[in-house]
Amino acid sequence: MSKTPDSGKAEDDEPSTVEQYLVKDPERFALNMARMIEQAGKAASAWAEPREKGDVRDHVAEPVVDMVKTFSKLSEYWLSDPQRALEAQTRLFSGYMTVWANAIQRTSNATEATEDAVKPERGDKRFLDPEWGRNAFFDFLKQAYLVTSRWAADLVEHADGLDEHTRHKAGFYVKQVANAISPSNFILTNPELFRETVASNGENLVRGMKMLAEDIAAGKGDLKLRQADYSPFEIGRNIATTPGKVVGRSDVAEIIQYDPATETVLKRPLLICPPWINKFYILDLNPQKSFIRWAIEQGHTVFVISWINPDERHGTKGWEAYIREGLQYGLDTVEKATGERDVNAIGYCVGGTLLAAALALMAREGDDRIKSATFFTTQVDFTYAGDLKVFVDEEQVAAVEKSMSEKGYLDGTKMATAFNMLRSGDLIWPYVINNYMRGKDPLPFDLLYWNADSTRMGAANHSFYLRNCYLENNLSQGMMELAGHTVSLGDITIPIYNLASKEDHIAPALSVFLGSKYFGGKVEYVMAGSGHIAGVVNPPASNKYQYWTGGTPTGDFGQWIARATDHPGSWWPHWQSWIEARDNTRVPARKPGKHMKTLGDAPGTYVKVRV
């Protein structure tokens, strides 16, 4: 297939034919439509039944109201000035006229290539089917959609009268609406879906509605979007398989100690504090990707906190409880298991934010057991906190708190949906199309298995996090109160390894960079390639991505990047060298259970509790 360099349209493709969109067996097609309606009824029943029983209460109104309020502020800016409104309308009308002119030209002279009014962004996989370019109808739909969505995004970008938070929300909501109304999401406006439906006489829709009913039932009344085939995976069998023992258990955490892989180990044990928003085994997906296994092979005695999947019993446990019964309990357990007080610690995402707050509190209380801290994609300052900040203002936080007060926790599906919405073009709509319209089972994928293994959020814990970090930014401002102390990051004087990832949409690299200045000691800022997960879980053997180092993280972030050194591959060996530069003393390897009773094999029991 050859393409013109300018238009991107196929020159040598066979012309689009009407026959491929005509039903060949009307009787069978009609029968399948009836079967589809039957399955759709089951989906509706799976949605309605838990609501009729009172097991599910919808809170859809709150985000919809917030979106309407946000769009109202955007409209007010553009409509308050007639000249401004006219210019905006003219730009949209001009785009439509170009699309219309292209359509007329193509209809009258099908052999002549025309320039699209607007092209899809690089990497947009929605319009790869050749029919989007060679069929006049689908080409018109595609261009009209792209013109409209690009125009709406420009309205947000050029709305100078909006405050930054409203602009951020408006841009996010425009993107969600644009992704939702894409012609690629509907049978009759997506040529590939249209052809598949006709070719199978609608059997794809029967299978899709059956899967939809199953996924709503699995979500107990809410859609639990199936992103992979989860059946091949089992925690402890082919996920989270690094051998070890549970050596401690509190109300909120199990402490896992892993078996050594070397004859000697670093004297300082390593305690990892993962996020409780997801489960710890993102760092131990499989032997090839496991940071935990790799760290053991480098000579670390690795301990990991495996957080409880909270229920009603944990609704009143806030950050102090997670510090006392999680982090400090972990330190106590490390000392009992190894006899060592001095520890290296790692915190990942919100687990890193908790670690930073704990270090500030421990500095006030004279607890100096942690001698170095590493933060993976961790925010301590939330001024530029990424797209999750869209969900955080006083009204929305109050609504979440009201919802949590009913059960003592936030359902895991709610948090999972919020994270998926941050990348809805990758994590929602492709699966909606594949599962419920094409009727195809998704493929097995361990990363998406982990992504779907969502956890509940305890009410007190989650409320403290939203208010003190996202809403009020108390941690970096030295105003967070814990255990009767007002804590300050400036009291943390131990060495810090602060890892960001370049394309992170949860903890943006800029946010991590700016947070570095609040610590009281020396900070090694490193920026990895890729995003929040792939940038962290990047084993050296994969030889993927890169990382940047550039000295003290001060001044302008853009200038830091400009003068930074680009290193190919994984940042893991760089971190190992940094750790050993602090203290590389070695001692004989330590086996779990030598000095204390064990409570079972890794990965423990808490991690297996599902929503």
CB atoms within 10 A of CB 429: 16
What radius of gyration, in Å, describes the C-alpha atoms of the chain? Answer: 27
CB atoms within 10 A of CB 297: 12
At 393, give phi and psi (nearest 5°): -150, 175
| CA distances (Å), origin 173, targets 59, 80, 125, 196, 422 | 17, 21, 21, 31, 10
Tokens of 133: 């370019």
User: Which H or E run contains 527?
Assistant: strand 523-528
Catalytic residue among 349, 357, 404, 437: 349
Distance in angstroms (rounded) separating the CA atoms of residues 389 and 426: 20
Q: Where are the alpha helices (DSSP H) in 24-163?
A: 26-52, 61-79, 82-108, 131-134, 136-157
Verify whether residue 349 is a known catalytic residue.
Answer: yes
CB 499 within 8 A of CB 377: yes
Distance in angstroms (rounded) separating the CA atoms of residues 594 and 17: 74
Written as one string, the DSSP assignment of 177-222 is: HHHHT-GGGSGGG-HHHHHHHHHTTTHHHHHHHHHHHHHHHHTTTS
CB 336 within 8 A of CB 599: no
Cα 497 from chain centroid (whole Å): 23
List all residues 6 or more positions away from 161 whose beta carbon is below 8 Å from its beta carbon. 77, 80
Catalytic residues: 349
